[in-house]
């Protein structure tokens, strides 16, 4: 990856290795967890708002893809103008452009089934949560609530207490940062216990480094158990904080849906054995996370048939087996 700072409000990212702007921008704008904070603009770009690294204040960017490069313009901010180099690095991390993916296609040569998915979805990279803070918000809010409801509640929270930006003819927003979140006594439509957890999450930003990407990366895979100290975060989402905000490339999750897609792809059913999972994913190194996201994305689009629409049954069966 190469990042160039063009001006105090503009940057350019040059991808290394396969990258599809069409697929990744579609991922970003259709993913329920990014709804209301990312949208396609009339000029073919993408508007996106998020909580900026380190400062925990809102920032918004307008992104375009030209001549094989991602061009970004800082389009808005909250309490203080963020550092453009840090914003550029965060955008790169969101789109997994912070890695040289030149060797990634070799995984498809080692496992022809993965090669077929790569051919069907060429250049797809993981799209990550913009920050650990925003993933924690989603994790707390999504407990026992469907994704569409969580997305709607998030949009209302942005409008009432967060930040709204008009960019390229569309409206995007960011949830309130921790300074505001920790003051909220109630949130319309949200159970009191979840509001308490959101306030606890906000306090975590001030009292620990558990929502700081650089710190989490320094912990390596120990970031997963460490993140369980964040109020409302259990085993599943603690792993997600490390995998899907820090832009790591080589972790296979302990999670039944990922195993079910792996099993479907290789004729092993919904619950491949631990030995089969280890054997199959060994050849995905050092890109196991990317392959997992590729498989999950492909299953959601029926490129890997037989998984989409069965999520509840697969998870229930895995719990019963455990």
Q: What is the pLDDT along the chain (322 residues), one digit of tens a residue?
A: 689 999 999 999 999 999 999 999 999 999 999 999 999 999 999 999 999 999 999 999 999 999 999 999 999 999 888 999 999 999 999 999 999 999 999 999 999 999 999 999 999 999 999 999 999 999 999 988 889 999 999 999 999 999 999 999 999 999 999 999 999 999 999 999 999 999 999 999 999 999 999 999 999 999 999 999 999 999 889 999 999 999 999 999 988 889 999 999 999 999 999 999 999 999 999 999 999 999 999 998 888 888 877 877 887 777 766 5
DSSP letters for 58-71: EEEEEEEEETTEEE
Which pair of structure tokens corresponds to residue 136? 């924690």
Say yes or no: domain 2-121+128-245 is CATH 1.10.340.30. Answer: yes
End-to-end Cα separation, the chain, in angstroms: 41
State the span(s) of the chain assigned CATH 1.10.340.30: 2-121+128-245
Contact 256, 292 (CB under 8 A): no
Alpha helices in 99-255 (DSSP H): 106-110, 112-120, 132-141, 147-161, 178-181, 192-207, 213-219, 223-226, 235-245
Q: How far apart are CA 175 and CA 159, in angstroms?
A: 9
Quote the pLDDT of residue 322: 55
If you count them, how many residues does the chain have?
322
Contact 61, 72 (CB under 8 A): yes
Closest CA to 256 of 315, 310, 175: 315
Quote the pLDDT of residue 309: 79
Quote the pLDDT of residue 50: 98
Contact 244, 129 (CB under 8 A): yes
Quote the pLDDT of residue 305: 85
Q: How far apart are CA 139 and CA 33, in angstroms?
A: 10
Tell me the Ramachandran region of residue 302: left when phi exceeds 0, alpha when psi lies from -120 to 50, beta otherwise: left
SS3 88: helix
Contact 284, 266 (CB under 8 A): no
Quote the pLDDT of residue 306: 82
Contact 121, 294 (CB under 8 A): yes
Cis peptide before 286, with omega less than 30 degrees from 0?
Answer: yes
Contact 80, 55 (CB under 8 A): yes
Which pair of structure tokens corresponds to residue 9? 């409000």
Quote the pLDDT of residue 312: 77
CA angle (126 as vertex; 139, 27 as ends), nearest 5: 80
Contact 62, 72 (CB under 8 A): yes
The predicted model scores a pTM of: 0.95
């Amino acid at each position: 990856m190469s990042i160039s700072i063009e001006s105090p409000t503009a940057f350019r990212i040059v991808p290394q290795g396969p990258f599809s702007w069409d697929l990744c921008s579609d991922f970003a704008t259709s993913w329920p967890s990014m709804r209301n904070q990312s949208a396609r603009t009339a000029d073919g770009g993408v508007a996106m708002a998020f909580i900026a690294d380190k400062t925990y204040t809102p920032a918004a960017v307008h992104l375009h893809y030209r001549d094989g490069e991602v061009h970004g313009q800082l389009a808005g901010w909250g309490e203080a103008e963020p550092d453009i180099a840090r914003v550029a690095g965060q955008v790169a991390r969101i789109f997994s452009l912070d890695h040289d993916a030149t060797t990634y296609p070799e995984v498809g040569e080692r496992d022809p089934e993965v090669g077929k998915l790569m051919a069907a979805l060429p250049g797809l990279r993981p799209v990550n949560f913009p920050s650990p803070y925003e993933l924690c918000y989603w994790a707390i809010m999504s407990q026992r609530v469907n994704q569409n409801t969580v997305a709607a509640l998030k949009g209302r929270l942005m409008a009432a207490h967060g930040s709204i930006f008009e960019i390229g003819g569309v409206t995007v927003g960011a949830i309130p940062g921790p300074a505001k979140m920790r003051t909220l006594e109630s949130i319309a439509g949200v159970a009191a216990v979840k509001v308490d957890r959101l306030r606890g999450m906000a306090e975590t930003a001030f009292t620990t480094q558990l929502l700081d990407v650089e710190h989490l990366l320094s912990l390596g895979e120990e970031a997963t158990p460490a993140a369980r100290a964040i109020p409302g975060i259990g085993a599943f989402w603690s792993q997600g904080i490390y995998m899907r905000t820090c832009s790591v490339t080589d972790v296979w999750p302990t999670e039944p849906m990922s195993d079910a897609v792996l099993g479907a792809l290789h004729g092993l059913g919904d619950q491949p054995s631990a030995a089969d999972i280890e054997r199959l994913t060994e050849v995905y190194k050092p890109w196991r996370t990317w392959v997992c996201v590729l498989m999950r994305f492909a299953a959601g689009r029926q490129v890997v048939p037989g998984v989409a629409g069965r999520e509840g049954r697969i998870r229930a069966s895995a719990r019963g087996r455990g």
